[in-house]
Amino acid sequence: PVKVSKICCIGAGYVGGPTCAVIALKCPHITVTIVDLNQARIDAWNSPDFNVPIYEPGLVDVIRQARGRNLFFSTDVDKAVREADLIFVSVNTPTKKSGVGAGFGADLHYVESATRRIAAVATSNKIVVEKSTVPCRTAESMRTILEANSKPGIRFDILSNPEFLAEGTAISDLFAPDRVLIGSLQTSEGKDACKALADVYANWVPKERILTRISSVNALSAICEATGANIDEVAHAVGFDSRIGPKFLRASVGFGGSCFQKDILNLVVEMNEYQKSRFSKTVVDTLFNTITGKHIAVLGFAFKADTGDTRESAAISIIRDFLSEHLQEACPNTPLESIKKSVTIVHSALEACKQKEAIVIATEWKEFQSIDWELVYGQMAKPAFVFDGRMILDAEKLRKIGFTVKVIGRGDRV
Ligand code: NAD
């Protein structure tokens, strides 16, 4: 089997950045180069004062220790690809906005162009690892592209190694993953490639948590047969995820983020959208059925706490609902003008709450629990409403201060 000494990661985003930075930290003998076409993003990763483009607790420490030692960030995709033994493809796979699968299918054109680039520039054998969230059979398509476009005599082994990190806890998830899944063809070359990647993770992940027998990991029971997966193995692997269980089943205003929505069925996404709009409706209903002329503080804009990622966050849907609620008045011309006119961004929760009629908690940041609520109450118009979309506040305490409190998922009267 190949001994991996140079890794290239294509895509310096929420997944590629933290994942490969942790690999570099834990494997000082491997050189890791993370590449991206986005110059600004790479510049931020390289910034002298560690002003990295992604907020994750613990991330800066990892970068501080590994950057310049065996971890590099670059826009020179071709060079990094050429030099690497193993290449992670960790590019974005956004939900398609139009065409077949609009609203739920993944747009694979970034995966395709990264794959084509690998084929075009590779001058030696490569292990290509699909890390992006992709539909079943994508490895097959990548293989076809690589084999049809590469120079003669070059071998590509393709592995599936989906990432399970959750934004906000990416670094601790990567330090101690519930499990690492690696899928490959069951040929001897496929198994060798699988072993090479497993050996990388084995530098810090206990062997029993590295699962390499899975032949196709993107499927669940009903589709196993159609995709060639083995349900026993899939079930075994899913069981390792500690998020499946009580942690998963907490009511909230509706999850956001860009990965999860795509991973599950459209129906469930609709249910989630419904949950978000139901929350906005509760707010409007409670505010005597109209929010025209009212001032509402929305606390939190990221899709969850401890991340700077705002993609598809609940706050966006809620604010959009509020804007459309008083559209007639606020929006003379374009939507953008209306947003600029109606939405003010401030940097502190306390400031946001000043002189408002209502406060809406959209993200479960810890700091919202420790706001001086007495002070906030004193500065609000009365009656003062709090809508806790994340179940993080002590509702009883707030009621004692004088607030009218509504908590998502609780039918208590206001
Ligand atoms: P991202 O948008 O933050 O990062 C992707 C990066 O890839 C971008 O910076 C983009 O410029 C770059 N890129 C695109 N095409 C490229 C190319 N051809 N060459 C070089 N760079 C290119 O996305 P992300 O959140 O890191 O997600 C990456 C994948 O991982 C997605 O498929 C996502 O579904 C999956 N995933 C994400 C998470 C998460 O928590 N964010 C968790 C698990 C899986």
Taking phi over 0 as left and psi of -120 to 50 as alpha, with beta for the rest, 355 belongs to left
Residue 45: CB within 6 Å of ligand 1?
no
Please name the CATH architecture into which domain 260-407 falls: 3-Layer(aba) Sandwich (3.40)
CB 85 within 8 A of CB 127: yes
Q: What is the DSSP letter of 323?
A: H
The model's pTM: 0.76
Three-state helix/strand/coil letters over 106-158: ECCHHHHHHHHHHHHHCCCCEEEEECCCCCCCHHHHHHHHHHHHCCCCCCEEE
Q: Please tell me whether residue 289 adopts helix, strand or coil conformation.
A: coil
Q: How far apart are CA 9 and CA 13, in angstroms?
A: 10
Ligand 1 atom nearest to 54, measured from its CA: 3
Length of the chain: 414
What architecture does CATH give domain 6-246? Answer: 3-Layer(aba) Sandwich (3.40)
Residues near 112 by beta carbon (within 8 Å), at least 6 away in sequence: 141, 145
Residue carrying structure tokens 């399970």: 164
| Mean pLDDT along residues 253-274 | 63
The string of pLDDT tens digits covering residues 139-160 is 888 888 898 888 888 999 999 9
Q: Binning pLDDT at 50, 70 and 90, where does residue 138 land?
A: confident
Q: Which two tokens stand for residue 357?
A: 């009629």
Distance 117 CA to ligand 1 centre (A): 16
| Residue 259 in contact with ligand 1 by CB distance below 6 A | yes
pLDDT tens-digit readout, 335-386 = 677 777 888 999 999 999 999 999 999 999 999 999 999 999 999 988 999 9
The catalytic site residues sit at: 259
Are 6-246 and 260-407 the same fold in CATH?
yes
Percent of the chain's residues with pLDDT above 90: 56
Res 118: pLDDT: 96
Residue 358's pLDDT is what?
A: 95
**How far apart (Å, rounded) are the C-alpha atoms in residues 326 and 314?**
19
pLDDT over 90 at 248, yes or no? no
Q: Which is more confident, 257 or 47?
A: 47
Alpha carbon of 139 to those of 185, 245, 278: distances in Å? Answer: 10, 30, 39
The domains of the chain are located at: 6-246, 260-407
Half-sphere exposure of 247 (CA within 13 A, CB side): 5
Query: What pLDDT is recorded for position 247?
Result: 46
Q: For 94-113, what is the mean pLDDT?
A: 78
8 A C-beta contact, residue 11 and residue 90: yes
Q: What pLDDT does residue 289 have?
A: 81
Residue 178 identity (one-letter amino acid): D
Q: What is the ipTM of this complex?
A: 0.96
* CA-based end-to-end distance of the chain: 66
Question: Is the per-residue pLDDT at 53 higher than 50?
Answer: yes
The pLDDT of residue 227 is 63
Annotated binding residue at 164? yes
Q: Is the pLDDT of residue 78 over 50?
A: yes
**Cα 400 to averaged position of ligand 1 atoms, centre (Å):** 46
